Amino acid sequence: MTNKKPHTVIIGGGFGGLFTALDLAGTGEVTLISDEDHFLFTPMLYEYFSGEVEEWHIAPNHKELLDESVNFIRDEVANVDLDARLVTLKNNDQSLSYDVLVIAVGGVTNYAGVPGAAEFSIPFRKIAHADELRLRMVEALDHVPPDLPPQDTQRALTFAVVGAGASGMELSTKMADLLRDAFKRRALNGEPRVLVIEMGDKILPGMGSEIRGHVEDALRDSHVEVHTLTRVVKVTEKSLTFEHNGVKTEIETAAVVWAGGVRMNPLVEDLKVEKTSRGLILVDPTLQVRSHSNVFAIGDIAFFRDATPTLAGTAQLALQEAGLLAQNVKAFLSGKELSTRHFEELGEAVSLGTERAAVLVGGKAFAGPLARQARFALYTARLPTWHHRLRVGASWFFEGTAPRPLLPLGLQR
């Protein structure tokens, strides 16, 4: 009999991992390992890109959020040995042993094997990606003189977004609004061009029809061109080639953003556990990995049967699962029965350009500037920890949430 506290190791500091760690604080020894030093509230990465919110609002440091009862290690987990109960880190030779393991590593961008996509397009999953895209847009604008004819201006300021899911819609409308504002401020000729390229036959494939109409209005108002049934076949440093009805077209691009899907995290690909045909870890209704009762998986990498199908691959699901998971880890460690739960859609909110949003709550959708305010209010409530929510809520209320214009590089603050 030993007095050693049971050690729970959580891999991944996103929605699933961080919220589990917050709920488990003080339950034995808890270690959170993540390759980023901060949490990221991804639903507002678009507002960070447009300058409507600050980095500290949506990407608070893990050490600020977690109390001293949780150890935080910033590193990438290189390997998990489920039989030896060991986790190996990329930048530290020592392995960590665990009693309970929580796998919450999320997905990675899926370039679907398109030539040049991984090298030349910008993914949109992290703070660094939003910074890179914004910089690319400012640099492109800085190269265009005000007396350039409209057709040449548009050619030099053509941006493409790949994928017409919620991410592609939110990002393209923000990009278009920021660019049109920059055109006015810099007195440029003509209009910028923002295209969305989508392989499927419609926008927002996973979303209900209630919100779709509002998004279509926003795309029209922001002058975003949507090309459905169109496949990207090649990306280079300065161009994109797409195919529609068997015809290939190459266009000059100032930047291509890849919002075209998510694939399995390589760490999960290497794990020898039961998975779905898409590579998701099959978990029991208690979130335990089949064949290893001390291992739990959560969020984008896990297949949880009892959830509304539209919740798959969302922060909403990871967040709800985290509550159940923490409860079950506590039960597991104290030898009690584990629980299960059904997860429902909590409502949808998409940001549309820099002045509007569309929100769906209780089956009713509304859009416009008021929906934008409602979205901010809704998301304040979902940020991690009360302390952080209060600080951010006060900042949005007193300091405002106006976008930051794409000023010339020399004039940036």
Ligand X SMILES: Cc1cc2nc3c(=O)[nH]c(=O)nc-3n(C[C@H](O)[C@H](O)[C@H](O)COP(=O)(O)OP(=O)(O)OC[C@H]3O[C@@H](n4cnc5c(N)ncnc54)[C@H](O)[C@@H]3O)c2cc1C
Q: Which parts of this chain interact with ligand X (CB under 6 A)?
A: 11-17, 33-36, 42-43, 45, 76-77, 104-106, 124-125, 167, 265, 267, 299-300, 313-316, 318
Q: Is the CB of 170 or the CB of 177 nearer to ligand X?
A: 170
Q: Is the CB of 114 or the CB of 130 nearer to ligand X?
A: 130
Contact 49, 137 (CB under 8 A): no
Give the single-character DSSP code of 294.
E
CB neighbourhood size of 177 (10 A): 23
Q: Is the CB of 253 or the CB of 351 nearer to ligand X?
A: 351
Q: Is the CB of 157 or the CB of 268 nearer to ligand X?
A: 268
Q: How many helices (H) and strands (E) does the chain have?
A: 13, 24
Contact 37, 15 (CB under 8 A): no
Query: Shortest gap between Cβ of 315 and ligand X (angstroms)?
Result: 4
Query: Shortest gap between Cβ of 20 and ligand X (angstroms)?
Result: 9
Q: Is the CB of 161 or the CB of 224 nearer to ligand X?
A: 161
Give the type of residue at 63: K
CA distance 203 to 180: 23
CA distance 149 to 151: 6
CA distance 182 to 234: 29
Q: Is the CB of 160 or the CB of 318 nearer to ligand X?
A: 318
Query: Shortest gap between Cβ of 77 and ligand X (angstroms)?
Result: 4
Element (H, E) at 282: strand 281-282
Query: Shortest gap between Cβ of 205 and ligand X (angstroms)?
Result: 15
Q: Is the CB of 77 or the CB of 203 nearer to ligand X?
A: 77
Query: Shortest gap between Cβ of 359 and ligand X (angstroms)?
Result: 11
Q: Is the CB of 16 or the CB of 156 nearer to ligand X?
A: 16
CA distance 113 to 123: 14
Query: Shortest gap between Cβ of 154 and ligand X (angstroms)?
Result: 27
Contact 287, 324 (CB under 8 A): yes
* Residue nearest to ligand X according to CB distances in the complex: 14
Query: Shortest gap between Cβ of 156 and ligand X (angstroms)?
Result: 27
Q: Output the DSSP codes for 2-35.
A: --PPPEEEEE--SHHHHHHHHHHTTSSEEEEEES
Q: Tokens 């604008």 identify what position?
A: 141
Query: Shortest gap between Cβ of 293 and ligand X (angstroms)?
Result: 21
CA distance 321 to 312: 12
